[in-house]
Structure 1
Amino acid sequence: MASEVKVPTLGESVTEATIGEWLKQPGDKVALDEPIASLETDKVAVEVPSPVSGVMGAHKVSVGDTVEVGAVIAVIENETAAGESTQVEPRERVETEGVQERAAGEELEDPPKDDEHHDHATTLSPSVRRAVLEHGVDPTQIKGTGKDGRLTKEDVLSAAKAKKDSPAPSVSKEAPAPSPAPSAAGGERRSERVKMTRMRQTIARRLKSAQEEAALLTTFNDVDMTAVIEAREAYKDLFAKKHGIKLGFMSFFAKASCLALKDIPAANAYLEGDEIVYHDYVDISVAVSAPNGLVVPVVRDADSKSFARIELDIADFGARAKDGTLTMQDMQGGTFTISNGGVFGSLMSTPIINPPQSAVLGLHRIEDRPVAVNGQVVIKPMMYIALSYDHRIIDGREAVTALKIIKDAIEDPMRMLIDL
C-alpha cells in the first residue's frame, strides 16, 4: 500500500512552489516526518515531511518543476510492499544490475561507492552544486553543518579556502618533479547554464521593481565606533553570562534606528497608492545570508525589546537561515531594514529599499582611520553608514536628520538609554 506525499500549505497568499531538491531517492528508507524534499517559495525554502514511514517510492515531479499546494509529488511505499514492487527498485539492486550482467569471472577494479558518500552527493542544493564545480572540491570529503548533516555553500567555501591555504607537498631533490596534469581538452573553457531559483527570481523582480518605481536616493555619514566598542568590551562577559548571547553591534544599531524612526516617522512608513501609511511600532527586517540567497526575517516590536532580546532574535534567525528552517511568517511585514555588508568586508554601498518600506540602513566594515578631534589628528575605529530612501515620501532633510540621529546614538549610547 502506498501513501501519497502532497505539497503542504505554504503560507498566506502562497499557492505554488518549485521543487528545489529531492532529499530521498526511490528505494531509500524513510521515517515518519523525515524531510524527503525541499520546496522553494518566493521567500523561503520549505521541507516536505514524509506522512508515514516506509520506503521512498516514485517521484511524480522533477527538480525545477512548479507545483501547487495539495499536488501529489511522490509516494511512500509500505516497506513490505516496496520489497515486492517492480516499480520501485531499492538503490542497492539498481547499482548491482550492471555487475550481474558482466561476464563470469570478470573482476571489478573500482570498489563500490560508500553509501554515506553517495547519499551525501545526491542531496546537494543547486547553489552548493555550483560552488563545488567552481572551486573543484570533493563534496564527499566535506563535513556538512546544515540540517541532518547536509552541505551548505559556506561549508564548500570553507573547504575551498582550506585547500587553497594548505601548503603544497614538498618534493625530494632526488626525485624528479611530477609532470603537470594535462588541462582539460587543451585548455577548453566551460560554462554552465543554471535556472534561477524561485527565491532568486523573486529577489531580482522585487529589487528591479524598487529601482523602477521608487525615487531612490542615498545619504552617507561616518560613525566613530569607540563608545560602542568600549561598552561591548566592558560588559561582554556579564551580558553573555546573564542572557546567554554575545552583545553584538546589530542591537545597538537597531535601538539607534528606533530613535531615528520615532523622530522621522516617514522613514518608518509605506506608500500605498496616494496614501502614506504610518506605523506607531518598529518592525526591523534584518538582512541575513542563507544558502539560497539573502533573506530578511523581521525583529518585531524592536522599539520595545531589550538589547538581549534583539540579539537573541537575530542569532535565532541566522541559525535557522543556515538550516533552511525559516518560515513565511518570519519574513512577513517589516517597516524598516538594516543590511550589514560589513561582515563581508564592504567599505561603502548604496543599499536598495525593501518594498513597500521607504528606507534601509546600510552598515559597513569598521576600520581605523585618521580623523581630526579638537584640532588633533587621531586614529579612530570608523564606519561608513548609508541610508537609502524613497524620495517620494522622505525629504532629503528628513533622511539626513534620521541618519544623524543614528550616528549620534552610536557615538553616545547613553542617548538610547534616556531616549534622546
Structure 2
Amino acid sequence: PAKAKAVPAPAAPIAAPAPMPGMPLSPAVRKLVEENRLDAAMIPATGKGGRLVKGDVLAFLENGGGQAPAPAPASREPAAREVGAREVGVRETGAREERVKMTRLRRLIAKRLKEAQNTAAMLTTFNEADMSAVMEIRTRVQDDFVKKHGVKLGFMSFFVKACVVALREIPAVNAEIDGEHIVYKNHYDIGVAVGTEQGLVVPVLRDAEAKGFAEIEAEIADLASRARSGKLTIDDLTGGTFTITNGGIYGSLLSTPILNPPQSGILGMHAITKRPVVIDDQVVVRPMMNLALSYDHRMVDGREAVTFLVRVKQCIEAPDRILLEV
C-alpha cells in the first residue's frame, strides 16, 4: 500500500510584538491597563507603529492574561478629578487624600492674596468698639426703617459711613502707590467682602460718601445677592479705594485681614460678644466688637493707622458724630 503523505504541521501563529518602549498610551487604553493592574509591556500590540490599542488589552484579558485586581490600597496621591466649584461643608469619607483642581476664581484669589503679601509692607493695628449705641438705634428704628425703605438697617452701613469719615481725615489710607507716585483718591468706593460657595469676592459700593444709610444697605444687599448667584460684572469688582470685611458673621473674634491690592487699607469687623469693661470706674457688661485695620506701611504711617481706627471707633460708639461730622 502507498505510504501516507506526511501532512506538514500548521505553522505556529506569529506573536504580535510588545508595544514599542516609550510609546504613549491613549486615555482609554491607559484606563483599562490601570483598572486591571496590567503591565503594558507584556501585552502584544497590533496598532500602527507598535501602538497598543484597546482591542489588544481586551483580547489579553479574554485569554486570561489579566487577573482580578486586588482591592486597591488607599492611595497617597489619588487621581485629580474636576469639580465645578470648590467643595465646602461635610465631605464624604473616602481615601486619605483627594486632589481637586482649583477653580478659576480660587486661582485668582490665591494669586491676588499672594501678590499683596509679596508687594505691600503689611501691618495690622487693633482696637475695640462698644456696640451699645448702634444696637440701640437699630432696635429703636428698625420697624420704621424697613417700612419706609424696604430693607433692614444693618451694621455694615454704620461702618461704611464711619470709614468715610475716617478716610476723609486720613487720606493716606484711601490712597495707593503707583510706581514712584502716590495716587490720592477724592472719592470713596468701598469694597465689601462677600463669601460665596465659589470663594471670596469683593464687590464695590461706589461713591459711599454720597449715599444715605438706606441706599448703602440696599446696594450692599443687591451686590451680595448677585455675588452669590454669580451675576457680578468686572466693573462691580474693580476700582475700590478701601475694603471692609466682616469675619464676625462666621464667629471670628479676631483676625489680620489681607490687603486687596492696590488698596492701602482694609478694616476687619468681628463677632459681637458681651464682655466686662470699665466705664467711669465701674465694671459693666457691654457688647464689644474687636476691630482690625491692616494697612500698607509703605503708604500709611503707624500714627495715621492708629488715628484712623480710633476715629472709626468713635463714630461707632457715638453714631451722631457721623451725622454731625464731628
- TM-score interval, normalised by the smaller of the two chains: 0.7 to 0.9
The one of 186, 194, 197 aligned to 1:291: 197
Give the Cα–Cα distance (whole angstroms) in 1 for the partners of residues 207 and 289 of structure 2. 26
The one of 345, 348, 362 aligned to 2:254: 348
1:191 and 2:100 aligned: no
Give 1:418's aligned residue.
324
Give 1:363's aligned residue.
269
The one of 250, 267, 279 aligned to 2:173: 267
Give 1:69's aligned residue.
none
Deviations 1:282-310 (A, max 9, x none): 00000001121000000000011000001
Give the Cα–Cα distance (whole angstroms) in 1 for the partners of residues 324 and 85 of structure 2. 49
Task: Tell me: CA distance 1:305–1:365, structure 2 relative to 1, closer, same or farther (3 Å).
Answer: same
Return the letter of the residue paired with 2:91: H
Query: How many residues are matched?
Result: 245
Tell whether the 8 Å contact from 2:129 to 2:316 is kept in structure 1 after alignment.
yes
Give the Cα–Cα distance (whole angstroms) in 2 for the partners of residues 387 and 303 of structure 1. 20
Deviation for aligned residue 1:195: 1.2
Return the letter of the residue paired with 1:125: G
Instruction: Return 5+ residue gaps in structure 1 as ranges.
Output: 1-123, 137-183
Give 1:316's aligned residue.
222
1:388 and 2:311 aligned: no
Give the Cα–Cα distance (whole angstroms) in 2 for the partners of residues 125 and 196 of structure 1. 9
Give the Cα–Cα distance (whole angstroms) in 1 for the partners of residues 195 and 214 of structure 2. 21
For the pair shown, the structure with the greater C-alpha radius of gyration is: 2
Deviation for aligned residue 1:125: 3.1
Deviation for aligned residue 1:364: 0.2
Give the Cα–Cα distance (whole angstroms) in 1 for the partners of residues 85 and 203 of structure 2. 23
Give the Cα–Cα distance (whole angstroms) in 2 for the partners of residues 199 and 319 of structure 1. 17
Give the Cα–Cα distance (whole angstroms) in 2 for the partners of residues 126 and 401 of structure 1. 41
Give the Cα–Cα distance (whole angstroms) in 2 for the partners of residues 359 and 228 of structure 1. 24
Q: How does 1:147-162 map to 2 (within 5 A)?
A: none
Give the Cα–Cα distance (whole angstroms) in 2 for the partners of residues 250 and 289 of structure 1. 15
Give the Cα–Cα distance (whole angstroms) in 1 for the partners of residues 95 and 259 of structure 2. 38
Deviations 1:133-189 (A, max 9, x none): x434xxxxxxxxxxxxxxxxxxxxxxxxxxxxxxxxxxxxxxxxxxxxxxx8xxx74
Give 1:399's aligned residue.
305
State the superposition RMSD in angstroms.
1.6
Deviations 1:194-216 (A, max 9, x none): 11111111111111111111111
1:372 and 2:278 aligned: yes
Give the Cα–Cα distance (whole angstroms) in 2 for the partners of residues 235 and 392 of structure 1. 43
Give the Cα–Cα distance (whole angstroms) in 1 for the partners of residues 85 and 195 of structure 2. 16
The one of 124, 130, 134 aligned to 1:224: 130
Give 2:85's aligned residue.
126
Task: Tell me: CA distance 1:241–1:260, structure 2 relative to 1, closer, same or farther (3 Å).
Answer: same
Give the Cα–Cα distance (whole angstroms) in 1 for the partners of residues 235 and 181 of structure 2. 26
Give the Cα–Cα distance (whole angstroms) in 2 for the partners of residues 126 and 378 of structure 1. 47
1:306 and 2:212 aligned: yes
Identity among equivalent positions (%) equals 57
The one of 124, 143, 150 aligned to 1:244: 150
TM-score, with structure 2 as normaliser: 0.73
1:135 and 2:91 aligned: yes
Give the Cα–Cα distance (whole angstroms) in 1 for the partners of residues 203 and 249 of structure 2. 18
Give 1:280's aligned residue.
186
The one of 108, 111, 129 aligned to 1:202: 108
1:330 and 2:236 aligned: yes
Secondary structure in 2 aligned to 1:357?
Answer: coil
Give 1:71's aligned residue.
none
1:213 and 2:119 aligned: yes
Give the Cα–Cα distance (whole angstroms) in 1 for the partners of residues 316 and 146 of structure 2. 21
Give the Cα–Cα distance (whole angstroms) in 2 for the partners of residues 190 and 419 of structure 1. 58
Deviations 1:208-247 (A, max 9, x none): 1111111110000000000000000010001000000000
TM-score, with structure 1 as normaliser: 0.57
Give the Cα–Cα distance (whole angstroms) in 1 for the partners of residues 289 and 91 of structure 2. 32
- Structure number with higher strand proportion: 1
Return the letter of the residue paired with 1:126: A
Give the Cα–Cα distance (whole angstroms) in 1 for the partners of residues 163 and 303 of structure 2. 16
Deviation for aligned residue 1:321: 1.3
More relative contact order, 1 or 2 (CA 8 Å, 6+ apart): 2
